[in-house]
Amino acid sequence: MQPYAWRVAALFVIVALVFSVPHAATAPRATLQSEQEVPDGYQQGVARVDDGWIFTGTVTMARTNDQLKVVKTNIQPIPLDWKRKGFNHVGDPDVAGKFLYAPLEQPQYERGDQAMARYDAKSLKLVDVVPVQQHEASFVTVDPKTMIAYSMDRFGGDVLLRYDVRKGWKLLPPLTMSRFVDNVQGADVADGAVWLSTYDATNELFHVDLKTGQVDDLGSAGHLPGEGEGIDATALKSGLLHVLTIDPSNSPVWFGHFAVT
């Protein structure tokens, strides 16, 4: 091979290497920074408020300060008329503005009906409940800028359901994801993405780009074979992602704070 041809070939190899790995080099990863123990009974979901957190249990919810001391509770978040319809589970919630939005779920999934409830984020008092046509409802997250809510029809899937909250939870075209994600237990919208927590084989965390649907694997939330649950995405000194994980012995529930790099 002539010297010039050799230099051209080498240049093509370098260019190919540079352009073949940009996504891998920049894919985000979650790294645990610290953990807290959650008060007993609040293992389903979490959402950030200005002075602390709101946690949900299967049939209860509480607001805490940053040290996780309970300052307000709602021990009957599911209204009686909805209990009579079979609703017995509160999932991973989200706060947008002055309201807390939480999914209410009934276990006869093939009925194809679930519900979204709205509460005052300070008092935790119920405001209203809206029925939605989906089979399961482990989470809801609401973008405070657009008031578009995201959920999933099943615990696993490759699309995110989207609702226009301002128009009575009008169903919008879904967001198609680049891959199937199984056993999603929680989600939160932040920084142009939906961040997912799962109860799969490794309690994996994921980042879903809202524009492209590209899914990035962030790594495990840990405490295997315990159960991954709700997630909040808020930039704090403790980290960006704040994730609930049930210990393998079922107690305690861990509240892990993760940096994303």
Q: Is the pLDDT of residue 31 over 50?
A: yes
Whether 214 contacts 208, CB under 8 Å: yes
pLDDT digits (tens, 9 = 90+) for 137-181: 999 999 999 999 999 999 999 999 999 999 999 999 999 999 999
Residue 24 lies in a domain: no
CA end-to-end distance (rounded Å), the chain: 44
Residue 131 lies in a domain: yes
Residue 44 lies in a domain: yes
* pLDDT more than 90, % of the chain: 89
Residue 19 lies in a domain: no
pLDDT digits (tens, 9 = 90+) for 53-99: 999 999 999 999 999 999 999 999 999 999 999 999 999 999 999 99
- Mean residue pLDDT of the chain comes to 92
Residue 85 lies in a domain: yes
Residue 161 lies in a domain: yes
Distance (Å, rounded) from C-alpha 252 to C-alpha 177? 33
Domain carrying residue 242: 30-260
The number of domains in the chain is 1
Residue 67 lies in a domain: yes
Residue 243 lies in a domain: yes
Q: Show Cβ contacts of residue 197 under 8 Å, excluding neighbours closer than 6 positions.
A: 92, 184, 185, 186, 187, 203, 205, 221, 228, 229, 230, 231, 243, 244
What is the three-class DSSP state of 102?
A: strand
If pLDDT is split at 50, 70 and 90, which confidence band does 25 have? low
Residue found by looking up tokens 């029925």 in the block = 131
Q: Is the pLDDT of residue 16 over 60?
A: no
Q: Residue 175: which CATH number?
A: 2.120.10.30
pLDDT of 34 reads 98
